[in-house]
Amino acid sequence: MKIRISVILSMILALVLTTDISADVDDYENRYVEMTLSRYDDAVITISVIDGSDRSYYVYTEDGTEENDEVYQYEIGSITKTFNGILTARAIEDDKLSLDDTIDDILDFERNRNFPTVEELLTHTSGYASIYYSEESNDRNNPFAGISKTEVLRQAEEFVSRRDAYQYSNFGAAVLGLVLEEVEDESYDVMIEELFDEFAMDNSIVYSETEILVIEEDWEWNEDDAYIPVGSIISDVEDMMNYMQVNIDSELDGVERSHMMLESLDRNPQRIRDLEIRLDGIGYHWRIDEENEIYYHSGQTSDYGSYLAFNKEEEVGVVVLVNTPPARTPSLPVLIGVDIMHDLLDIDNMNDRRRR
């Protein structure tokens, strides 16, 4: 099905998916994006879609809509972790790492404890908290800046991991970054930049030590920060479409493996259902909607939000990038992205048929 996105913005935003007949996206999304643009005059929302060989993106501001014109850079937050998943998958394929390896085997801890495995770091089942603050944490804008690799290594060896159910852990992702640096004998930023080159992501960077973004303030990092693997990538819509295509095609080393479900989860509480998404399992950091064969991840920083989702079988996907802080517009990129994926895959009609 050939689908392209066109937009009419005259105080009311409509995304029109054109096939044999035209249909507006859900009114709720319509109102939500319109509200964002009307309330925040600095809002810049970029939405892109891949549908087979068709690729398109649009930029929405209070002044109107720009089709395939202006390209803005955004922080993508925790979508960064999916790149780490590919790096981990490649290390496993190269026999440098195993899912069953415990972190003390790799990081040479002296204490004899029941440390988490690589798989548990990937699936957020290590039992680690989201973050462990320290006296080094001194950046009010970026809560992850200033915490050194030495400090995270100390914390990882000292704190007891109470492994049980799924618990999202940025700390675990930081530890995984240290594991990757150790087994590859390379710095994290160099490994990610090599992926950028391979994925044709020419306008993306791993992190910045100074302010570089135009539309909002970005997180600043120090070279030795351990949490850089947690959410430091800055990218734009064209590069993110290239990254999405890499995942849809799944031809490059490590990509297909990174989509493997490692942990089945019964994580569909009401707040998840309200967003009309499913969390049936998790792969190499990818969240998985098994019923609809959707792989996805979202991201947040202090001033940016993002969402990426794709279905490999149907060769469709969506990227949503926003510069409105999550505190102002919670779940905005997820709401938009989920709505578009539902239209691309005709999920609502499929669900109606399942209920009959």
Whether 98 contacts 118, CB under 8 Å: yes
CA–CA distances in Å: residue 60 to residues 15, 37, 63, 102, 251: 11, 8, 8, 46, 33
Closest CA to 336 of 29, 2, 27, 124: 29
Residues 3-17 have pLDDT tens digits of 333 322 222 232 322
> 164: how many CB neighbours lie within 10 A of its CB?
9
**Residue whose C-alpha is closest to residue 129's, from 116, 119, 138, 139:** 116
| Domains of the chain with CATH codes | 73-355 (3.40.710.10)
Q: What is the pLDDT of residues 138-196, one digit of tens each?
A: 666 899 999 999 999 999 998 876 766 889 999 999 999 999 999 999 999 999 999 99
Q: How far is CA 97 from CA 109, 135, 173, 355, in A?
A: 17, 33, 16, 44
User: End-to-end distance of the chain based on CA atoms, in angstroms?
Assistant: 25
Which secondary structure element, helix H or strand E, spans residue 75, and what is its range? Answer: strand 73-75
Find the angle CA(333)-CA(338)-CA(342) to the nearest 5 degrees: 155
For the stretch 114-129, pLDDT in tens is 899 999 999 999 989 8
The string of DSSP letters for 120-154 reads: HHHTT-S---S----TT---SS-TTTT-BHHHHHH
